[in-house]
Amino acid sequence: MIGRTGQLARALGERAGSGGHGVEAVGRPALDLANADDAGVLAALGASFGGHGPQAIINAAAYTAVDRAETEPANAFAINAGGAGAVARAARALAVPMVQISTDYVFAGDQADVYAEHHATAPVNVYGASKLAGEAAVLAAGADAAIVRTGWLYSPFGSNFATTMLRLAATAGTVRVVDDQHGCPTSALDLADVVIAVAVHLAENPAPELRGVFHAAGGGEASRAEFASAIFAAARAAGGPSARVAPISSADFPTAARRPAQSRLDCGRLAAVHGLHLPHWRDSCGGIVARLVREAGGGR
């Protein structure tokens, strides 16, 4: 696995162990995708696996600071596009399959219906453009690959929407949250289970239909405000901080990077081809929030 400290990388480490799969995390300082070349990636993988090559590679490393990417496009593209290409070429050199993680932000968010894999991409921010370039780099490398797009990731790890909402609720009775952005909240732990399963399928089965682009996101959908309300309800039930949600428009909360108004993903191909699906986001939200409250030293 490429990546060590991000949400998905940490979730993969936790879920792989509990599922009986061995996973080796390769990340900074041994491998920094911002400055990676093909030889460097191969050397880092060789050093990590001690001469015994991996059965599959999951690239969970990424530049994910969406707003900061607007002022650091070179860094975002170096990691998300250049780094992804280097990993793909390493996978091809090692003759092993890879899973590349991508994002719902490759879409413009201007269509009313959910986005399927075949819909036209048109990112509206640097982050989305860099991840789309990463998809292209993986495909151009000729790697034996599956590209997994996801969105609205949250987890017990690092900084994400759930941790931000809980931090704000600790000091404010009311939290303003945009209500005109719609997507599929996705537990990184649930996504990790799916990504591991896809990697195993690729390693065990050469069928072409298992490769290509797939969408993997939590079941159901929500606005940002609805997601926040569910987080506060779960926190309240766990004895943690809670707040009232004041719905606002995106225009009332300007950010450096524009977000798609709706980036709901159709995950039907993942279910049809790999036999996999993620639980409904509401079924996963409570457990993650309760864990965050518990690990913060509060609640039941």
178 within 8 A of 249, measured Cβ to Cβ: yes
What residues pair up with 247 in beta bridges, in sequence order?
177
d(CA 261, CA 235): 27
Among 131, 137, 133, which residue's Cα sits nearest to residue 150?
131
Select which of 63, 105, 127, 154 is catalytic: 127
d(CA 207, CA 263): 29
To the query of whether residue 105 is one of the catalytic residues in this protein, the response is no
Within 8 A by CB and 6+ apart from 41, the residues are: 31, 86, 87, 89, 90
Structure tokens at 236: 């309240």
What residues pair up with 115 in beta bridges, in sequence order?
265
Catalytic residues: 127
